[in-house]
Structure 1
């Protein structure tokens, strides 16, 4: 669950060495893990072609090469830079490797080979050279299988961004903990299957070196999921209010309302303008309905203290009405989605002012375009990865930010970050975001804290899509939500 950034992994390596652990011994274990993956996955390869870089990633490559030679595999090594300038463990690994290496420009495709990419790993921060990009392109075009050491060279370990070019690995072997770049796009698409190998750094050291990044799994939120008991009844399970647009725009809010009900809220009420009441009523069964046409009617409704959370945005409409409704709701648990976000595009500070000074209880769910409207300066910052953008936005808004996409990122103002990676491609369908907003709203209504509700909502959304399978529609998703008691 805990992910380590390249800097944090470097700190873990340093702390391990300072504690007396043999750093070269760790490198040998890493290189042997790579060679074992090669032998397991590609036993019929005609040659292991090992690209060794100028740092410790290259050292792992030299160890792997020597181990493969000992196993009877033909091996060719191509080095980047001057190997005489290698230092520390990487230098020792090259000395211990009895295979002559050649400069990487000498590489030529070899029939039946498998490439081991030990050039840069996760720590790369600059674009690859044109010459390396040409080699990568040749390997890719020839469909040569690649095993990446730590991370495919060219992929940023912190951001997942491709820096000029990057190998497309069939398999990636990383060590102790995965990095954010393994799960963020486009890096995730370059990793192939991911193997996290334990080379022996103690967990206490990883915990000391680690920070805020996590893979979004049930371990992150399961303890906060609502649990039913013999004394449960509908009012104790929370009352969710979902706001609808006008007569021709009730569908999105109805999707959210049904999702909130399926997520466990005891009651869900669809708040509709009076002129949309008849349209909405023809589609509602278990979801209740309340005419709420203006802010005065809203404030009267809010006098009912049994209302525990709200969803505003899906199909609501952009404009002043949305802003006044949010002002009335700002002190209550709230999912602000779609039109609710866009309504503050011209005045984001107004929204941030409404949410300031309290314990964070609002979840903002922007997709890329909506994020850019609300946080234009953060969005256009090219050096920030998606987690950094979401984290900065969360601190500015004093809200949990769920930055949607195939690699959804959830960030809290206190620095916690979760990267969601369970969503299948077929989840990209009209209305799925409305369902996500409703799931989160249903969890907030049952008392889940905002960050845990957002993390759980994103994971449940993806899990439901996987259960539903290809060809799903948004209407299918709520019916495929798993039972909370079955989540492990």
Structure 2
């Protein structure tokens, strides 16, 4: 496609978006044309969702404010009662100054009383690149909105790179952004503050993406393609996942095994530490292999290439020793739970693992505080360990050692229940065993778990997830085919 409505899921930082604008302008697309398209898109999406009403456009002095002036003009032409409240005058000679000159309607003070009188407020004060906290008088005006807020690019005060509010950001009913989303549209609390996020094309050439080469994507089919069994496959070629089981803590490992089996692993072995635990495991699913053999003995079989270590394991030195043996033997390890607990304050102990799947608490214990930039924290952890890091949460981040990252916004709230991370670890392991590289396996596993949870519905418990994974796999493959056909 020749324009920016291709549906690509690249996420651009504010700096990368500024470069995209500059590249487009350098290629011959005037900035005023981009601004006109952006403001027209804001007006169009506003008219689609709201009835004509008393509307106030809060306009900043930069390009975001220029978009607001254009939106005001299109709404006024459609018969809406619109006024503009400038925070400050645009820089003379700028595209925003041209847009402001073309606005012939009412201009009112930038004040809380004006915002309170409006039935709809369009927040066109600051865009995603704001780098300083919002001042108190601006926050007071934004917070006084008497009706829904439509944000241009992001709610003013929201950091487009991190999703964090810089002091204050208003709650928007809708946010209209352009060309590509930013990480802050998906990371919390930004995702919630944006309300409905609408991505609008404004005429930037798609070719600018190749020049920028963004490393972050919104997670979903297309970032990865799910493996499908072929006619000549058998249970061995579909991969063998082995799962270390803790003494007396069989539930977590069994959930991992169910996730692996339902996600396509040809064979799953639960490796018991003793006979009593093995007896408990043998009373479970009949299709699972239970072994009491030592890890050293099992490593003699080169087909046992992928291992899950952590669910139900004790957070102690013996757990790390077992993982070290697996890594030394060249096996790919998905490390979770007990392994992460045993590595508290020792991230170097996880070097050589393929995928780490910490939740926020586990991450902090191993790597230290996450801080306000979840994406950067996951990238640092991946670089430090050489492993793909899947930082779980409602805004899951998957980061690779080479800087690639994906943000997943596909998981419903009811996925937040005990045991679902164990299923995830098994799912990621099955995808690894079926040939996906570690980054793609982790990203696909996160999406599949969210899709399975959506299909299950509210009230989900971890045991429900595996039976919905086959349908999630089918949906993922269908989405990839649809995207390929559309492209």
Coarse TM-score class (shorter-chain normalised) = over 0.9
- 2:473 and 2:179 map into 1 onto residues whose CA distance is 32
Say yes or no: does 1:22 pair with 2:30: yes
**2:311 maps to what in 1?**
314
TM alignment of 1:241-390, pairs within 5 A: 241-247=242-248, 249-274=249-274, 275-292=276-293, 297-330=294-327, 331-352=330-351, 355=352, 362-376=354-368, 379-382=369-372, 385-390=373-378
Say yes or no: does 1:96 pair with 2:88: no
- 1:427 and 1:351 map into 2 onto residues whose CA distance is 27
Q: Deviation per CA, 1:372-414, whole angstroms, max 9, x where unpaired?
A: 11111xx3544xx111111111111101000110000001011
- 2:238 and 2:114 map into 1 onto residues whose CA distance is 65
Q: TM-score of the superposition, structure 2-length normalised? A: 0.92
Report the 3-state secondary structure (helix = DSSP H, G, I; strand = E; otherwise coil) of the residue aligned with 2:297. helix
TM alignment of 1:196-235, pairs within 5 A: 196-222=199-225, 225-235=226-236
Structure 2 CA distance for partners of 1:195 and 1:347, relative to 1, 3 Å = closer
Q: TM-score of the superposition, structure 1-length normalised? A: 0.92
CA contact (8 A) 2:395 2:409 kept: yes
Deviation at 1:133, TM superposition (A): 2.1
- 1:9 and 1:391 map into 2 onto residues whose CA distance is 20
Structure 2 CA distance for partners of 1:13 and 1:487, relative to 1, 3 Å = closer
Report the 3-state secondary structure (helix = DSSP H, G, I; strand = E; otherwise coil) of the residue aligned with 1:269. strand
CA contact (8 A) 2:415 2:450 kept: yes
Deviation at 1:103, TM superposition (A): 3.2
- 1:438 and 1:473 map into 2 onto residues whose CA distance is 16
Q: Deviation per CA, 1:52-86, whole angstroms, max 9, x where unpaired?
A: 01210000001111111122111121111x31645
Structure 2: any 5+ residue segments left out of the alignment? 1-8, 481-487
CA contact (8 A) 2:52 2:80 kept: no
Mean Cα displacement is larger for which, 85-94 or 299-308? 85-94
CA contact (8 A) 1:432 1:474 kept: yes
Q: Deviation per CA, 1:127-146, whole angstroms, max 9, x where unpaired?
A: 1111222233332xx5x111
Structure 2 CA distance for partners of 1:18 and 1:118, relative to 1, 3 Å = same
- 2:303 and 2:257 map into 1 onto residues whose CA distance is 17
Deviation at 1:311, TM superposition (A): 0.4
Structure 1: any 5+ residue segments left out of the alignment? 356-360
**2:485 maps to what in 1?**
none
CA contact (8 A) 1:344 1:374 kept: yes
Report the 3-state secondary structure (helix = DSSP H, G, I; strand = E; otherwise coil) of the residue aligned with 1:108. helix
